[in-house]
Chain A
Amino acid sequence: MTQAPAIELKGISKAFGPVQANKDINVRVMPGTIHGIIGENGAGKSTLMSILYGFYKADAGEIFVAGRKTDIPNSQAAIAAGIGMVFQHFKLVQNFTVLENVILGAEDGPMLRPSLARARGVLKQLSEDYELSVDPDQLIENLSVGHQQRVEILKALYRQADILILDEPTGVLTPAEADHLFRILDGLRAQGKTIILITHKLREIMEITDTVSVMRRGGMTATVKTAETSPEQLAELMVGRKVLLQVHKTPARPGAPVLQIDDLRHTDRHGVERLRGVSLTVHAGEVLGIAGVAGNGQSELLEAIGGCVDASGSILLNGKALPLSGPGSDGAARRAAGIAHVPEDRQTEGLIMPFTAWENTVFGYHRDPACQTGPLMNNAAIKQQAQDKMTRYDVRPPNPALAARNFSGGNQQKIVLAREIERDPDVLLIGQPTRGVDIGAIEFIHKEIIRLRDAGKAILLVSVELDEIFALSDRIAVMFDGKIMGERAPESTDQTELGLLMAGVTASQAGDPIAAVDASLHQKERREARAHD
């Protein structure tokens, strides 16, 4: 090809204080291709894209757009250069219509009416060209997440972007919505647009990209043709050593039911009913995985069982009913009863970030008599056991006096896991066990979960990563809109079936899956909107 690259980065470096976020990055993105950028959390993907979009200024290096050296001091310059960005967290005004959002910041003049009229025409054309159908007069708050993402893409296209950057676009989508997004991206590529896809999911890279660049610790380790690589090779490039992508486990040998949940309900403080009659049973020696798109009640389910929020219905632990509100229903009581809880968000729930590691290793268990001497806390003993745990779980650096916030995500998660597992609980609730955790630690955490299962613990796993659910679960329950849509065995189901269940569509409705998914999501959002009013 003699064509100039759509984007070429030469020697880009950026440091934040002592942290080298990007060092000497060189990459060429050819026009009309989908170029994936993959790397672990903190590898520097987002920093690089922020430099490209004018949020940060590089310390060194040059940017060429379509062969011309271009300065991008701010996002206006990026837009002028034809670069559009779809952020992971959408930047939309909730109570504006689609049309109003699209022209926001790109109005033709002081009066809105001509801009809106022109935008309506452009939008109609765009949605016909690229399967990007959205009702232009609908308020953003009434749209599903997938549709909101389309609005973001439309916004970029309306600004005549030729180069589209998408940052972790599938994190919030159901598999069906993600498929639709990929079809849109396909269409865009066919029209000659250039797309940069940032992700940490190997599957997506393999599925849609033409070329992929791998980042590790701020550097670009390789750029390869997707057709000539494999997930295993990419994982190795990301981590810097061989990684086991598969979890090895023997079939589960479930014992007696340990955790029996019946008709569990919870209404949040905005009056939205988040759990609408959940019934589940977890047996000793099995992993029950809860699949679902984030925000369908999984978080509340863990919190209700873990004693963080009040609920109604019933929870039996080894046949004994637990109080669900009032005295004896808090997290401390649940721990005493034998329910350990690795929360979804370790930074705001599982750990106190400014506390030292040793203070965190007893968090939640600090009322244990072993932590006390007379009226004071037995800090010497706590430090000792913290040192023990950190050595055994290979927390790095193994320094108990360091504040929790100074550890990497994976090591923070190990501190939480060590604390919860070491108490030998009957039930382990575990939410998003590997979110923001590097691949090396993922391997360790997955092994640990299977080891506990084989030791006869009842494990309830919540994860938005379907791959993780499939890899670890012995049974899979799918949650949608505060309800269990169904239970499947991992060997007798697939991503498509689960994907429909995650969108609230059961097999009987699946004649026209797309329409059914849209209708179901719409219904959910209507219910939540009503509760807010």
Chain B
Amino acid sequence: MDKMPAWADAVLVPLISILLAALLSALVILAIGESPLDALTLMIEGALMRSSGWGYTLYYTTNFIFTGLCVAVAFHARMFNIGGEGQAMIGGLGVALVCLFIPFPHWSVALLVATLAAAVFGALWALIPAYLQAKRGSHIVITTIMFNFIAAAVLNYVLVNLLRPTGAMDPATATFPAATHLPTFQDMFATPDNPLFRGAPANVTFFLAVLACVAFWLVMWRTRLGYEIRAFGHSESAAKYAGISPVRITVVAMLMSGGLAGMMALNTTMGEAERLVLNATEGAGFIGIAVALMGRSHPVGIFLAALLFGFLYQGGAELALWTSIPRELITVIQALVILFTGALDNMVRMPLERVFLALRKGA
């Protein structure tokens, strides 16, 4: 009965969307007088051909995996969590507090406690919109957007007035103690005669993100909670019929979502900057929406989509560095990818369905 095979739906549709986005981007680059082919070569070389390039690509990928999973949990419960950005900011605050004020003996202990803090802070930031949605019917899209602004303001206040070391001009915390330094890919893989990942920020949290993908799959498709979240997401009236509490699922799904967003801060705050700065999230919370859409809310898809956006981020930075293509154009390219994979999904899907239908009739 299904209109096309599952592999076409999962692989072909996003692939064609990306190609279309790339084609349009090429036209834009052509229009400003640069060579699209050179640009592509530069992006690939910068992001994928050197180990340090990979180190950056995977660093961004880590962020996008966490925020992608964050949006996907909410999607499964039919909620649109636009608040990943704010939840990640507050998660960063949690990371900073434990790193600054708890003397850790070893980075592994620090990572464990900081993960907990990040998840709890992020989850709590999602709790209020979740509660308002579940009990008062306030729309989660509106409240999470508002909470992004509140989070930014809170962080600003805390950094400027409370956590800024005296005398510093920068709205940021002091650098974390050395014991909280997370092993980077350079620390882990470089040998004296083969200096891999030199200077790149990718660190051990990447593996944590991969672990989160596995855990996400287990919870969603192998546990009772995941079953209930998915059931609720498909039909609230059916959930009520089965004795699944809408309030409970709404709150639990948003706590998980916020927790995942918060964990993104481990990568940026503890892994890279080693202090909390004002704009640590850099819009990754919003990229998470595109990642979840493109990845069909499935961890494998999210991993691949996060990798693509990691590549775009790193490749884009290279472009800005080496060509006269302005930085803003990178945003245009990313936006085109989001537009084609997220919003214009059906534009590719429907003709493709027709093609498969015709093929089947012919067969």
A residues lining the B interface (CB < 8 Å): 17-18, 306-309, 330-335, 341, 343, 345, 348-355, 359, 363-364, 366-367, 371-372, 375-377, 379, 406
Contact = CB atoms under 8 A, between A and B. Distances in A.
A349 to B, nearest CB: 4
B88 to A, nearest CB: 28
Given A352-B234, A355-B230, A355-B231, A331 B242 contact: yes
B234 A377 contact: no
A376 B222 contact: yes
Contacts of A307: 243
Contacts of A377: 222-224, 227
Contact of A351 (B223, B238, B360, B361): B238
Nearest to A379: B222
B245 interface: yes
A281 B299 CA distance: 51
Contacts of B244: 332
B218 interface: yes
B260 to A, nearest CB: 19
Contacts of A308: 237, 240-241
Interface string B196-237: 000000000000000000000010001110011011001101
Given A18-B360, A349-B235, A354-B234, A366 B224 contact: yes
Nearest to B245: A330
Given A331-B241, A332-B243, A350-B241, A363 B231 contact: yes
Contacts of B224: 366-367, 371-372, 377
Interface residues of B, number: 24
Contact of B238 (A333, A363, A371, A406): A363
A17 B359 CA distance: 12
B230 to A, nearest CB: 7
A529 B227 CA distance: 40
A347 to B, nearest CB: 8
Nearest to A306: B241
Contacts of A354: 234
Given A307-B243, A334-B243, A406-B1, 10 more contacts: A309-B240, A331-B240, A331-B241, A331-B243, A335-B243, A348-B238, A351-B238, A363-B231, A366-B228, A376-B222
Interface in B238-253: 238, 240-245
A352 B360 contact: no
A359 B224 CA distance: 11
Given A352-B238, A353-B234, A354-B234, A375 B227 contact: no
Contact of A349 (B230, B237, B361): B237
Interface of B: 1-3, 218, 222-224, 227-228, 230-231, 234-235, 237-238, 240-245, 357, 360-361
A17 B245 CA distance: 39
Among the interface residues A335, A343, A352, A364, which one has the most CB atoms of the partner chain B within 10 A?
A352
Q: Which 5 A-B pairs have the closest CB atoms?
A: A332-B243, A331-B243, A364-B242, A330-B243, A349-B241
A377 B243 CA distance: 18
Which one of B218, B224, B234, B241 has the highest number of Cβ atoms from chain A below 10 Å of its Cβ?
B241
20 contacts: A18-B357, A308-B240, A331-B240, A341-B241, A343-B241, A348-B235, A348-B237, A349-B238, A350-B241, A352-B231, A353-B234, A354-B234, A355-B231, A355-B234, A363-B231, A364-B241, A366-B228, A372-B224, A376-B218, A377-B227
Nearest to A367: B224
Nearest to A269: B137
A332 B241 CA distance: 8
Nearest to A354: B234
B246 to A, nearest CB: 10
B329 to A, nearest CB: 40
Contacts of A372: 224
A359 B242 CA distance: 13
A308 B357 CA distance: 41
Contacts of B357: 17-18
A364 B243 contact: yes
A473 to B, nearest CB: 24
A350 B234 contact: no
Contacts of B243: 307, 330-335, 364
A345 B237 CA distance: 10
Contacts of A17: 3, 357
Contacts of A367: 224
Contacts of A353: 234-235
A343 to B, nearest CB: 6
Contact of B227 (A18, A343, A345, A366): A366
A16 B191 CA distance: 63
A363 B360 contact: no
Contacts of B230: 352, 355
Contacts of A306: 241
Contacts of B2: 406
A341 B243 CA distance: 12
A500 B320 CA distance: 80
A182 to B, nearest CB: 35
A367 B230 CA distance: 15
Contacts of A349: 235, 237-238, 240-241
A46 to B, nearest CB: 20
B52 to A, nearest CB: 41
A309 B2 CA distance: 35
A306 B241 CA distance: 7
B315 to A, nearest CB: 36
Contact of A375 (B223, B237, B240, B361): B223
A341 to B, nearest CB: 7
A359 B234 CA distance: 13
A372 B225 CA distance: 12
Nearest to A375: B223
Given A372-B224, A379-B222, A363 B237 contact: no
B362 to A, nearest CB: 13
B242 A363 contact: yes
B250 to A, nearest CB: 15
A350 B238 contact: yes
Contacts of A333: 243
Nearest to A334: B243
B3 A332 contact: no
Contacts of A309: 240
A6 to B, nearest CB: 36
B242 A332 contact: yes
B81 to A, nearest CB: 21
Contacts of B235: 348-349, 352-353
A367 B228 CA distance: 10
Contacts of B228: 366
A301 to B, nearest CB: 14
Nearest to B238: A349
A391 B218 CA distance: 30
A349 B239 CA distance: 7
A184 B153 CA distance: 69
Nearest to A363: B242
B355 to A, nearest CB: 13
Nearest to A372: B224
A28 B320 CA distance: 73
Contacts of A364: 241-243
Contacts of B245: 330
Contacts of B231: 352, 355, 363
A366 B227 CA distance: 9
A314 B264 CA distance: 51
A343 B237 CA distance: 11
Contacts of B361: 18
B9 to A, nearest CB: 13
A354 B2 CA distance: 12
Contacts of B218: 376
Most chain A CB atoms below 10 A, which of B3, B237, B361: B237
